[in-house]
Amino acid sequence: MPFSDSKRDIVIVGLGNPGRAYARHRHNVGFMVVDELARISNSSWKKDRVDAEICKALIEGHSITLIKPQTYMNLSGKAVAPIMNRLYADPSRLMVIHDDMDIAFGRVRIKLGGGDGGHKGVRSIMDSLRFSNFIRVRLGVGRPPVGVPPETFVLSAFDPQDETAAAHLVSGGCRAVQFVVAYGVERAQQMLHSIKDVPVDSAAAL
């Protein structure tokens, strides 16, 4: 069954840290994807009553609520949970878009449920909702170079030579969201994950 068949709200959360200082960091690719979804939908962001920016967008012909928590990453759930409650949204129809160091740079994966994978933003949402079986769109940023701590790596900007691949990563994240909305999780996974061994410089194929 397509994910969009139900009349319940579809909520899509992009994870990141607020402020210009963090804007191009690897940890903010979730923000970058929802910003692009808003742009291609000709939709605009507004400040919500809680610590979040919110946007109503049209994706694959369906009305979607996009959220950017403004609480900083580790407290993302404190922004997401009140909006979910206010919308009477079904958490099983929640998509969370986030960076993932366990996936090669430039690749995108869709996952339903599971643990937090060490991602504190995902963990905060799980704890606040008391629910873990939501959809994750995982954006591969790769592993840090030898000697660079993971926290330093994700809280740093993409290297200039990686900007094109980063743009392709964002495009791939948007495509993953569109697939889920239009076809459902299982079919979207099949469509997205059928592309094998995509090199970074061909990440747009995602």
The string of pLDDT tens digits covering residues 173-186 is: 999 999 999 999 99
98 is catalytic: no
Q: Which of 8-17, 165-174, 177-186, 195-204 has the lowest mean pLDDT?
A: 195-204
Q: What is the CATH number of domain 3-205?
A: 3.40.50.1470
Report how far residue 206's alpha carbon sits from residue 196's, in angstroms, rounded to the nearest whole number: 10
DSSP collapsed to 3 states, 65-127: EEEEECCCHHHHHHHHHHHHHHHCCCHHHEEEEEEECCCCCCCEEEEECCCCCCCHHHHHHHH
What's the pLDDT at 49? 84
Each residue's pLDDT tens digit, 92-124: 999 999 999 999 999 999 999 999 999 999 999
- State the average pLDDT over residues 129-134: 97
- The answer to whether the pTM exceeds 0.85 is yes
Report how far residue 179's alpha carbon sits from residue 188's, in angstroms, rounded to the nearest whole number: 5
- State the average pLDDT over residues 57-70: 94
What's the pLDDT at 201? 38
What's the pLDDT at 60? 87
The H-or-E segment that residue 172 falls in is helix 163-183
Asked whether the predicted pLDDT for residue 189 surpasses 90, the reply is yes
Distances (CA, A) of 195 to 44, 98, 112, 192, 206: 33, 20, 19, 6, 7
Asked whether the predicted pLDDT for residue 67 surpasses 60, the reply is yes
What's the pLDDT at 79? 97
Q: Tokens for 54, please give them.
A: 């919110």
What is the pLDDT confidence band of residue 194, given thresholds at 50, 70 and 90?
confident
- Higher pLDDT residue, 133 or 2? 133
104, burial (CB in 10 Å: exposed 0-12, middle 13-18, buried 19+) = middle
Report how far residue 202's alpha carbon sits from residue 187's, in angstroms, rounded to the nearest whole number: 23
Binding residues for tRNA are 22, 72, 74
pLDDT above 90 coverage of the chain, percent? 85
Report how far residue 135's alpha carbon sits from residue 92's, in angstroms, rounded to the nearest whole number: 7
- State the average pLDDT over residues 19-36: 96
User: In whole numbers, what is the pLDDT of the chain averaged over residues?
Assistant: 91
What is the pLDDT confidence band of residue 54, given thresholds at 50, 70 and 90?
very high
The catalytic residue among 27, 98, 119, 168 is 27
